[in-house]
Structure 1
Amino acid sequence: MSTNAHSQNDLIRRFGLLPHPEGGYYRETYRATQTIHRQENANERRSASTAIYYMLCDGAHSAWHRLKSDEIWHFYAGEPLNVHVLDGQGKLTTHRLGNTLTHPDTVFQAVVLAGDWFAAECEDPESFAVVGCTVAPGFEFSEFEVADVGQLQVQYPAHRELIARLGPATGGE
């Protein structure tokens, strides 16, 4: 077993990470007891904020998806991670998360706005990255939408190749 694989397995065990439906591993670490009402549905109460640990390794990626809330990504450990974001006008922004002390062209935090499609991958598929994701209002799987890759490619034809490469790990894409 390589040192990298050993470290990854240790981190998965140490932090109690579970497989995430979009790829990688995660564990919720915080769910605010304070609640809010969403404008769209005043009868529905949401946690004001949630946070998770999230790890990508072994060549896994976070498939294209979107949320109804803003999400802040925080870099913790490993090697640089790219978070690709497609906004409603079709503009692609890639946030390079990493340790800015050792990789000056990276950032410690990046924001993905509610409704934007996004996916993430380690720059080096042989490496791993541990990040945190904070969502406000809080994350709920009922507001988690995985992209239909074909439809996303039609909507954003300039980015067809990237969209196809970071589609869901399973299915007929």
Structure 2
Amino acid sequence: MQRERIDSSEIIRRLKLEPHPEGGFFRETYRASGNVVREDERETRSASTAIYFLLCDGAHSAWHRIRSDEVWHFYAGDPIDVHVLKANGTLVTHRLGNALDRADAVFQTVVEAGDWFAAECHDREGVSLVGCTVAPGFEFSEFELAVPGTLEARYPQHRELIQRLNPEV
């Protein structure tokens, strides 16, 4: 099924997206007014947060991790691959896309707290609009961008993918 490409500049303008430090564009759309406290600490966090996230123009979401579970939701455009490195060295790639049009795609996937992950459009020239919901809510203080070289040393079997999606230094 051939469909019309979405216009990334129009999406950025209409959704009021800003550049994200890991790559792509985003805007927080929700922050719960209720708070939670993790069992292992005393600091409160918003119970949940949500963002729009857009990848386009060959950009990728560089390797990073957070301390909360993150649910990814597909909205529009081309499929996006979310690569997850599990602690045991397993690499799992989730393809987010229109699951009604593509048998290899899902509408939602979860990245568990503490897992390293990165994302890219399946077609490097693609444009993909997704959403991410984080619980407990996202805080930049809990965002860790991978230091180039550290993931390759820990997961040498995935060196090529890790290097390709490394953060800009």
TM-score range, shorter chain: over 0.9
Deviation at 1:155, TM superposition (A): 0.3
Instruction: Indicate yes or no: 2:80 matched with 1:81.
Output: yes
Match of residue 160 from structure 2: 161
Q: Which residue of the partner structure matches residue 144 of structure 2?
A: 145
Q: Distance in 2 between matches of 1:128 and 1:165?
A: 19
* C-alpha RMSD of the superposition: 1.1
Measure how far apart 1:39 and its partner are.
Answer: 2.1
Q: Distance in 1 between matches of 2:56 and 2:106?
A: 20
Q: CA deviation at 1:149?
A: 2.5
Structure 1 distance, partners of 2:126, 2:156, is: 30
- Summarize deviations over 1:130-163 as a string: whole Å, max 9, x none: 0000000000000000011201100001000000
Q: Which residue of 2 aligns with 1:118?
A: 117
- Superposition misfits of 4+ residues, deviation over 4 angstroms: none
Query: For residue 36 of structure 2, what is the aligned residue in structure 1?
Result: 36
Aligned to 1:12: 12
Question: Deviation string for 1:13-33 (max 9, x for gaps)?
Answer: 000000000000000000000
Q: Provide Cα deviations, 1:68-119, integer angstroms capped at 9, x if missing partner.
A: 0000000000011000000110100000000011112100000000000000
Q: How many residues were matched structurally?
A: 166
For structure 2, which runs of at least 5 residues remain unmatched after alignment?
none
Give the structure-2-normalised TM-score.
0.96
- Percent identity among equivalent residues? 63
CA distance in 1, matches of 2:144, 2:104: 31
Q: Which runs of 5+ in 1 are unaligned?
A: none
